[in-house]
A and B are shown apart, each in its own frame.
With several copies, the nearest count.
Chain A
Amino acid sequence: MAYEVKLEVFEGPLDLLLHLITRQRVDIYEVSLSTITDEYLRAMAAIDELDLETATGFLVVAATLLELKSARLLPQRAGDEATSSLLEERDLLLARLVECATFREAGAWLAAGLREGARFHGREVALEDRFVDMAPDLLARIAPDHLAAAAARVFAPKPVIEWDTSHVSPIRASVADAIAELAETLKARERVSFGALCGRGTERIEVVVRFLALLELFKAGAVELDQADRFGDITALWTGEVDADEVLQEADEYSVAAPPASGGAR
């Protein structure tokens, strides 16, 4: 059964990932990168129910996870630059997770300290009468303008942080959808470059999702891939040997809950 995560509970991408990665599993199956990635994406798919200020951060972590996950589908080549930079990215993510876990723990300690501190009540009583007149003039050097400035500080409307999210298009993190879509295109056109397959989908996550879909198709033998230069565009060739539906069945581990019908991120 799918592990349900309520995203509202999480403060940000690191928080969510930390939860997924450190929680105790009830069942004995090992939590794999693949499961974590899927759960992360599923939780992220619900992001439109939140304010979107953290959407960008969520996407960046998602992309890293997807890249890591896709890396295991490829034969590892020792000393491969792409692989080592991916591992660097992994280490950075790990370091940030450890830091996040550390400060969370420290925060819990502070909470206990503040709770304990609240049980100490400091002496705070009014001056005994015979000293009141001696107390120095509190209003020395205070002019009406100081008052006005203080009042303005308190009453000023706090800046409303409106996050421009126009650059965040609806999240289509479903690899399954991408497989079906790519298969359709490839069947019709036989030879298509990866760049063309991505089309206008410029969001990093969509590119990553399509890339994953292509790898799935390749693994299943439905396409052949050709890359002329190291960083050149990949060209995909439809082999016609496997049906897209079969690939989909095999790839169901990638299925990610689609955003609710109300639409994705706005």
Chain B
Amino acid sequence: MNERKVIESILLLADEPVPASLISEVLEQPRAAVERILETLAGEYRADDRGFLLRETAAGWRLYTDPECDPYLERFVTSHTNTRLTGAALEVLAIIAYRQPLSRAQITEIRGVDSDGVVRTLQQRGLLVEAGRDQGPGSPVLFTVSREFLERMGLRSTDELPPLADFMPDAEAVEDMEAKLSPNA
């Protein structure tokens, strides 16, 4: 058996990301070997400047079109529902991505504004999912970002997000903010 070949055929047949573990089961080959081949394939496609790419995300490995080809693909792509998100939605998404799992109340507390509607929208869009319940009083539902979100971001897990510190206002900006809130200003 030519493993590379079989793996390629599986990727072509699959209509969603395929975990390496599943391929390893189907091939009856150790997972590490499968992953090595997947990585080699991904590198080959890139090096050959193909119209498709092989990416690994949280959901698994999947063939994607190269974003460079996007302008030509309009009529071949099912129109995605408008994916533009409001600033509020993005903020909630960011809070959850960095602090998950969180309950609605915790999100609201961080933002200082009721966020239930936004959470519901994000959930409907498939970007957030419920992930069990908190042990605390009232055992509120906890939310995490979805696999689909990670797939769209091209991330294997939320650990791959840039450190939150990268997004902090710099010291000068914070000092300025502090000065403006100072009673003695």
Contact = CB atoms under 8 A, between A and B. Distances in A.
A–B contact (CB under 8 angstroms): yes
Interface of A: 11-15, 21-22, 30-34, 36, 53-54, 56-57, 61, 68-69, 71-72, 76, 86-87, 90, 93-94, 96-111, 113-128, 130-132, 134-164, 167
Chain B: interface residue count, which band? 35 or more
Interface in B27-82: 52-53, 55, 62-65, 67, 70, 73-74, 76-78, 80, 82
Contacts of A140: 83-84
A167 B67 CA distance: 53
18 contacts: A11-B87, A86-B183, A90-B183, A102-B167, A103-B98, A103-B167, A113-B152, A116-B67, A121-B9, A121-B13, A121-B76, A138-B84, A139-B127, A145-B167, A150-B91, A150-B94, A151-B98, A164-B182
B89 interface: yes
Interface string B128-160: 000000000000000000000101111100001
Contacts, number: 297
Contacts of A54: 113-114
B162 A31 contact: no
Nearest to A34: B185
Q: Is the interface of A mostly helix, strand, loop or mixed?
A: helix
Contacts of A106: 94, 97-98, 164, 167
Contacts of B163: 148
A96 B177 CA distance: 12
B153 A110 contact: yes
B148 to A, nearest CB: 9
B177 A32 contact: no
Interface string B89-116: 1110111011000000000001111101
A86 B182 CA distance: 10
A114 B85 contact: yes
A220 to B, nearest CB: 20
Contacts of A114: 83, 85, 152-153
Contact of A22 (B87, B89, B111, B177): B177
